Each structure stands twice: as C-alpha cells, then as structure tokens.
Amino acid sequence: MDSKEIEKLRKDFPILKRLVNGKPLVYLDNAATTQKPRQVIDAVSAYYASSNSNVHRGVHALSEEATEAYESARKAVADFIGAESAEEIIFVRNATEAINLFYYAYALHKFGRGDRLVKTILEHHSNFVPWQQLAWSRGVEEKIVNVKQDFTLDYDEFEKYAAGGRTKLITVSHISNSLGTVNDVRRIREIAEKNDSLFLLDACQSVPHLPVDVGRIGCDFMAFSGHKMLAPMGIGVAWCRGELLERFEPFMFGGDMILKVGLKESEWNTLPYKFEAGTPNVEGAVGLHAAINYLKKIGLEKIHPHGLQLANQCVSELESPGIKTYSPPNGLRSGIVSFTVPGVHPHDIATLLDREGIAVRSGHLCTQPLMKALGVPAVTRASFYIYNTKEEVGKLADALKSAKKVFV
Ligand SMILES: Cc1ncc(COP(=O)(O)O)c(C=O)c1O
C-alpha cells in the first residue's frame, strides 16, 4: 500500500481525526481491536434507521429485510474464508465464544481419558484455558509446544507430541498476538493429518490481515472476531467443516435453535441455527459484512505486506537504541511488535506513550504462559493495521528514545 492510498483511506476513519492529550491520535493497538471506517458505521446506522426487526420469525417486510441482511452477511463470510457453504458459518460473539463452542459442543462429548491434545505456549488465553479445563474435567492429556530462541514454534516438538496415535486435537493460532509469529499452518495440517487429529485454528490475528482459505489450509474448525477486522464488537465467527459440525451437540438451548418443542422433548434446528440460540447480533453481522466489503476493496493480499513493512521498520528503529524486541525472523513476522525497555515497566512505557497520543498495549497480552517462558512479567506491544503510516512508527520510536532517556 503506498502512502497516497493510506492517506485516502485514513479519511474513512473518523476517530483518526481526534486528538489525545492534545496530540494527534497514533493508534497502534490494532491487535486488541481495530478502528471502524465510516462505511461500517453507516451500514450499522442505516440498518437501524430502515430495517431493524427480529430475524427469521416474522413474515412482515422489516423482518424479511433484517433476515436477508443477516443471512447475506453469513454468505459473505463463507465466501471470504472459502467455506463450502454458508451453513458452516455460525455467528457468535467473538473468537473466545467460537472456541468455547467447539469445547462445549464437541470436545466435552467426544474426548476423554487416554486421549491427548497438542497446543502451543503462544496461545491467547482463549485458546489455552479451555484445554486446561478439558484436561481437568475429562482427563485428556495436554502437551504444550514451546517457542525457540527465534520466537518460532518448535516443530520437532510438535511432531513428537502429536505422534503415538492418541492425539485427537491439535490447536494453534495462525498468528501469535504477542510475538507476531506467522505459524506454519501447512506443516501443522500435515502433522494433524499424519496423526488423524482434528485441527483447530485460532485465526483472530490472520483473517483481518491476509487471505485465509479454510479449504486450502485444511483445518477442521476456525475461530475469529469481527472487531479485529473493522467490524463492530460482539460479532465473531465459528467455522467448522460441515461433516464434523453435524456431529456437534447444541451448547445453548432455547429459541431459534429448535424445530419442534414438545412437552418432554425437542427437535433441533438445522445447521447453522442449531448453534445460534436466541436473538442474534444482526447489527454486528451487518457491520461485519460492510467490513468484509471494505477489506476486499483494498485487497486482502496488500494488508499483511503493509503491516510487515511497518513491523520491520519498527524492529530496526527500536533495536538500535537498545530496546529489546520479541520478534521472529523477518519472513515469519507480521504487523505486531512486542518490546521491553530495560529497567522500565511496560505499563510506564505505555503511559508515557499515551501522553504523546500514542496508543499501545502493555501487560501479559492474555498470554501469561508465554510471558513466563520468555522470562518477563509483561511487554509493551505495537500492532499495525491498514491506516498506520511510516511516520507513525517514527513517532513511536522517537517517543521511546526520549522515554528511555528519562528512565535509564
Ligand atoms: C490470537 C487471539 N486469539 C483469541 C483472541 C480473543 O479474541 P476475543 O477477545 O475477540 O474473543 C485474541 C484477542 O486478542 C487473539 O489475539
């Protein structure tokens, strides 16, 4: 993406015009959530202004329009991630709920003592804690793949842990939210195939940044959140291979997920409604649809290289004044850079940056086991998206150099 293109698209984001602490906002907390373009805000507000109604149940015009908006969003998501059918798309609140859907609707019923699952140390808590629970409640053995010195996964360990015929599930994030490492999903798919394991992909940090095709990756289940890809909060996606999804049990009971209700028993609805109990987040789906259209217009293939370019600039600008970065080698990097300034707590760094209008995240980044493995209590993280510029990375580096002088 060239600077003219970025300058043009920045105008679509009203929030980027505001001042923070008297300084122009430099928003570098995109791995937590992205800002929303006018096109998404307008789509949501137009939905409420002209079509708001509950879906699926009414025969009146508004209900039909709302249903059409909701279901066409589902089709857009299916198309966006290369799903075979819209029935494989379940709308949930966020990636966390999607992973919990897999946990409650499948894993709790199908996995037990003697089975093994393999996850990694760099998982977000959303893809870490559910498997601890499975180990605890069902006696499933957990194996945790480590990261190497270069912040990439230890694939030999992956092979070793998955072998032996007992591994029922392999789960990994496509891109680490703390290190920015792009994991080798092709290799992990091969390991899963060789060992007859299911492959669950946490695509929270990849779907917003690069073309992700579930068929090409060959995973069985995938989770992501709308709010990290320009859409509103409260809408996320669970995708599952249709044949596998047929074997899931409902995990929430109530309206919409039933076909028939008798006095003593009920019959479940068809896919995907069986997993969408209660009134859904229609405005979220409408916003997600608008976000997908926006990203497609930019060209998904351009987003990751842009983030990478900014990350490369960031790593080289931070490392020269002695700031420690936790970033994998260039080819495996993405638009996320975590760092520590020796002798200064990451929260103090984030507070100082905030005074300059620069929004970054600090803390354990919902990856406490990874922090422990890295030997740090916390880090500060800058994460980039389509509207970030080289100049903004320069501002971050300058502010950090000044902060370093103040503290060290
Ligand atoms: C890799 C990864 N997985 C899961 C999540 C959880 O996303 P949410 O809080 O939207 O459920 C995040 C959020 O930061 C993430 O980065």
Helix residue spans in 247-341 (DSSP H): 282-298, 300-319
Q: How far lies 398's CA from each of 109, 140, 352, 385, 401, in Å?
A: 53, 49, 12, 20, 5
Distance (angstroms) between ligand 1 centre and the Cα of 380 equals: 17
**For residues 101-120, average pLDDT:** 98
pLDDT in tens, 275-316: 999 999 999 999 999 999 999 999 999 999 999 999 999 999
Token pair for residue 114?
């003697």
Q: Quote the ligand 1 centre to 365 CA distance (angstroms).
A: 10
Quick one: pLDDT at residue 408?
Answer: 66
Q: Does residue 369 sit within a domain?
A: yes
Provide mean pLDDT across the span 152-181.
Answer: 98
Could you report the per-residue pLDDT of 4-17, keeping only the tens digit for each?
Answer: 999 999 999 999 99
The atom number, within ligand 1, closest to the CA of 95 reads 11
- Based on the fold, state whether residues 388 and 252 are members of the same structural domain: no
Domain-embedded: residue 22 = yes
Q: Is the pLDDT of residue 25 over 80?
A: yes
Tokens of 183: 């994991």
Contact 232, 285 (CB under 8 A): no
Query: How many angstroms does the Cα of residue 213 sit away from the middle of ligand 1?
Result: 19
CA distance 350 to 382: 10
Domain range holding 388? 3-30+300-403
Residues 6+ apart with CB under 8 A from 162: 118, 170, 191, 192, 194, 195, 197
Q: Are residues 62 and 197 in the same domain?
A: yes
Question: Residue 408: inside a domain, yes or no?
Answer: no
Q: Are residues 378 and 311 in the same domain?
A: yes
Mean pLDDT across the stretch 321-339?
94
Rounded mean pLDDT of 157-182? 98
Look at residue 157 and give its three-state secondary structure. Answer: helix
pLDDT digits (tens, 9 = 90+) for 224-246: 999 999 999 999 999 999 999 99
- The Cα 349–Cα 401 span in angstroms is 11
Q: What is the mean pLDDT of residues 68-82?
A: 98
Can you give the CATH number for the domain in which 332 is found?
A: 3.90.1150.10
Same domain flag for 349 and 280: no
Query: Is 347 within the bounds of a domain?
Result: yes
198 and 323 in a single domain? The answer is no
Burial 67-82 (b: 16+ CB within 10 A, else e): bebbeebbebbbebbe
Atom of ligand 1 lying closest to residue 98 CA: 11
Domain boundary among 263, 296, 329: 296
Same domain flag for 308 and 289: no
Count CB neighbours of 87 within 10 A: 18
Of 296, 320, 336, the residue at which a domain comes to its end is 296
Residues 313, 279 within the same domain: no
| Under 8 Å between Cβ of 313 and 390 | yes
Cis peptide before 14 (omega within 30 of 0): no
Q: What is the DSSP secondary-structure string of 27-47?
A: E-BTTT-----HHHHHHHHHH
Task: Give yes or no: residues 367 and 219 share one domain.
Answer: no
Residue 35 located in a structural domain: no
Ligand 1, atom 14: closest residue by C-alpha:
32
3-state secondary structure of 48: helix
pLDDT at 378: 97
Query: Ligand 1 pocket: which of 91, 120, 177 to mutate (most atoms <8 Å of CB)?
Result: 177
Catalytic residues: 366
Q: Is residue 365 part of a domain?
A: yes
Indicate whether 407 pLDDT > 70.
yes
d(CA 81, CA 237): 11
Burial state string for 117-152 with b = 16 or more CB within 10 A and e = fewer than 16: bbbbbbbbebbbbbbeebbeeeebebbbbebeeebb
207: closest CA among 347, 286, 290, 304? 304
> What CATH number does residue 230 fall under?
3.40.640.10
Whether residue 202 has pLDDT greater than 80: yes
pTM as predicted: 0.97
Give the length of the chain.
Answer: 408
- Is residue 320 one of the residues assigned to a domain? yes
Residues 205 and 354 in one domain: no
Number of domains in the chain: 2
In this prediction, residues 261-274 reach a mean pLDDT of: 97
Domain boundary among 296, 324, 347: 296
Q: Which pLDDT band holds residue 215 (cuts at 50, 70, 90)?
A: very high
Which H or E element spans position 64?
helix 61-80
Per-residue pLDDT, averaged over 243-255, amounts to 96
Beta bridge partners of 119: 144
Split at pLDDT 50, 70, 90, the class of 33 is: very high
Instruction: Give the pLDDT score at 320.
Output: 79
Q: Do 52 and 24 share a structural domain?
A: no
CB atoms within 10 A of CB 63: 17
The Å distance, Cα 96 to ligand 1 centre, comes to 7
pLDDT digits (tens, 9 = 90+) for 348-405: 999 999 999 999 999 999 999 999 999 999 999 999 999 999 999 999 999 999 888 8
pLDDT, position 241: 98
Say if residue 309 is in the same domain as residue 358: yes
Pocket of ligand 1 (CB under 6 A): 31-32, 94-96, 124, 126-127, 173, 177, 202, 204-205, 225
Within a domain: 36: no
Mean pLDDT, rounded, of the chain: 97
- Cα–Cα dist 72/177, whole Å: 30
Same domain, 291 and 308: no
User: By CB neighbour count within 10 A (0-12 exposed, 13-18 middle, 19+ buried), where does 240 fall?
Assistant: buried
The counts of H helices and E strands in the chain are 15, 17
Q: What is the mean pLDDT of residues 143-166?
A: 97
Q: Beta-carbon neighbour count of residue 338 at 10 Å?
A: 31
How confident is the model over 316-329, as a mean pLDDT?
Answer: 91
Asked whether the beta carbons of 200 and 102 are under 8 A apart, the reply is yes
Write the residue with the smallest CA distance to atom 7 of ligand 1. 95
As a whole-number percent, the residues of the chain with pLDDT over 70 amount to 100
